Amino acid sequence: MSTNSFSSSGRMSTTRPPTVVPTGVSTASISIQDLFSKFQELEQRVSYHDGLLRQLEELQAENAHLKKMTNEQSEEIATLRAKLGSVTSSGSVKITKTVPKVGNVAAASAISEMEDGNVNTMPPGTEASSWAVVAANGKPRNKVRRRLAAARGFQPVSGDQGFEYVYIPRSRRMSYSEARRRLSRLGVDNWRVLDVCFPAHSVAGLLVHLQYKPVLLGLLERAKVPVLTDFDPLDPQHLADPTYATASIDTRLTAIATIVNERCSRTLERLRYPVAVAVSKFFLANAMVSDEVVSEVLSSKGDRPTIRRHRDDPVEDMAMDLNTYYYNASSRQVSDPSIPSSHSIPLSPSTPSNHQSSLVPLTIGLWNANGLQASTVDDLLRHCQSFSLVFITETWLLPPARLPTSWQQFHLYGSPVAGQYRGSMGVSALVSPRCPLPVVEFPVNCKYALGLQLGRSLRLICLYLPPSLPTAEVQSVLDSLPLTDDTIICGDLNVRLGRLVGDSRTNMRSCRVIGTSGHDG
């Protein structure tokens, strides 16, 4: 049988057989790539395990160190317990080694066992200053001084009352804390020294109560510290600013008074309200501070009482009823036709201009609230039923606040106070439903004044002038008021008129107010 293949034409076929690629070559190439990737993966794993091994070695070393420290501390605790046991048995022990801090647990255990035993007082020196001895000798704080201070508030007044500065020399500049620290070393009770000031280059002042002054003088004498009895803080020679060297005596007096006034103001700001009230009397008596500053500081204190009396105080109610009686009597006097008509009030716009005008009773009240609260309105109006109109100064109200009352109300809102949820200043007016005259507000164009017009021409201007308001601005406010022949000015002007009203003092704005009232009639 022939193995050759022939075509149908009888010739031999020339077609070449297909080329066969060996499968072993491609398989080897794929295996090399797999091995290389596996090698890289193994290399990464080895690097990661090396890092873990290093961390493990570090942890082992740290663990060994901690075990060593724990053993040492256990030995220290055992030593302390043995010594404390000897204290309990014999009643005394002499610790010759300073005990280090061994942790809260050991400290609590040592203190607990030490409190159970009767530990005697250790001798002074290094042994007595060790931690264990100091912890063992802990004594409760002496509260005798606090009890005495609290009891003084309920004892009858005796001895000298008031405050005074004790002036002593100082050799160099020092801070307030350093001065108090040095006074404490001399035995002075710093809580009895209300203020430390430096009024001159080489002088320190200590503000104390008159009853503590002898004690302070005794301590200073024992320490050989002289007292400057003739020192005057208002003497202009204490001015260290060279700009005042050639100034006139009036300028120097004004400058030193301003400095002392500011210093006393800061002192009052630091004191509590009851103490500040008493100290301010000493400052005012010695002309060291102005009335305006005292009023401003005391009114801004957070611990100042907001309610001056109990709501049901019968004495205050009686005084209010007495005032109401006088107001009613005054109204009846005004309505008497036999009284001259210089204070008459027109009844209506149709009132003729002759002297036969009709008169109506009109009563006006004024109250300084120092912060008007909605809860106090009913109590206020309960005592003002006979009033036709009530002005309220220092309401501290901010827009759009309204008072819960059926009385007609007008408001000159106050100014916001930074950092507090209230305002300052402010004037309000409450008009009774039984007021015989129509009341409308007229513009005053001043943030310190609220203007109301009653009837045809009667005008009421209620002012609140803060104590801190400069005298020049007070004069400007008074000059800007729209005054007429039928204008009445009232309010809280914070003015001291002296003998004119039976007062013992005057202030700068009194001249302005008297001058304005005299000029305008």
Q: What's 180-197 look like in SS3?
A: HHHHHHCCCCHHHEEEEE
What is the spatial distance between Cα 63 and Cα 86, in angstroms, rounded to a whole number? 35
Q: What are the C-alpha distances in Å from 158 to residues 153, 161, 212, 281?
A: 12, 8, 13, 18
Q: What are the C-alpha distances in Å from 311 to residues 44, 93, 314, 332, 392?
A: 86, 66, 9, 30, 18
For residue 281, which of 17, 32, 505 has the smallest C-alpha distance? 505
What is the spatial distance between Cα 329 and Cα 386, in angstroms, rounded to a whole number? 11
Phi-psi region of 371 (alpha: psi -120 to 50; beta: other; left: phi over 0): left
Exposure letters 258-281 (e unless 16+ CB within 10 A, then b): ebbbebbbebbeebeeeebeebbe
Asked if 429 contacts 403 with a C-beta cutoff of 8 angstroms, the reply is no
Domain covering 314-333+359-520, topology = Deoxyribonuclease I; Chain A (3.60.10)
Residue keyed to tokens 């017009």: 453
Q: What is the pLDDT of residue 284?
A: 85
Contact partners, residue 374, CB within 8 Å, separation at least 6: 403, 404
Asked if 453 contacts 442 with a C-beta cutoff of 8 angstroms, the reply is yes
Q: What are the C-alpha distances in Å from 34 to residues 27, 38, 40, 43?
A: 11, 6, 10, 14
What is the spatial distance between Cα 182 and Cα 223, in angstroms, rounded to a whole number? 11
Q: What is the pLDDT of residue 89?
A: 59
For residue 353, which of 363, 338, 341 has the smallest C-alpha distance? 341
Query: Which class for 256: exposed (0-12), middle (13-18), buried (19 or more C-beta within 10 A)?
Result: buried
- Kind and range of the H or E run holding 459: strand 458-464
pLDDT in tens, 209-222: 999 999 999 999 99
Q: What is the signed CA dihedral for 386, 389, 393, 397, rounded to 10 degrees?
A: 110
Q: What is the pLDDT of residue 132?
A: 60
Amino acid at 411: H
Copy the structure tokens of residue 70.
Answer: 């724990």
Residue keyed to tokens 């120092």: 370
For residue 259, which of 279, 278, 276, 238 has the smallest C-alpha distance? 238
DSSP class of 12: B
For residue 328, which of 363, 358, 366, 359 has the smallest C-alpha distance? 363
Where exactly does CATH 3.60.10.10 map onto the chain? Answer: 314-333+359-520
For residue 463, which of 453, 449, 477, 484 has the smallest C-alpha distance? 449
Q: What is the pLDDT of residue 312?
A: 43
pTM, 2 dp: 0.38
**Given strand 203-209, what is the order of strands in its sheet?**
163-169, 203-209, 193-200
Q: How many CB atoms lie within 10 A of CB 65?
A: 10
Give the chain's residues under pLDDT 50: 1-10, 92-121, 307-357
- Kind and range of the H or E run holding 291: helix 291-299
Strands 423-424 and 449-454: unpaired
Q: What is the pLDDT of residue 88?
A: 63
What is the spatial distance between Cα 399 and Cα 459, in angstroms, rounded to a whole number? 24
Query: Which class for 86: exposed (0-12), middle (13-18), buried (19 or more C-beta within 10 A)?
Result: middle
Asked if 412 contacts 426 with a C-beta cutoff of 8 angstroms, the reply is yes
Q: What is the pLDDT of residue 520?
A: 53
Q: At what angle do helices 471-480 and 508-520 cross, to 10 degrees?
A: 20
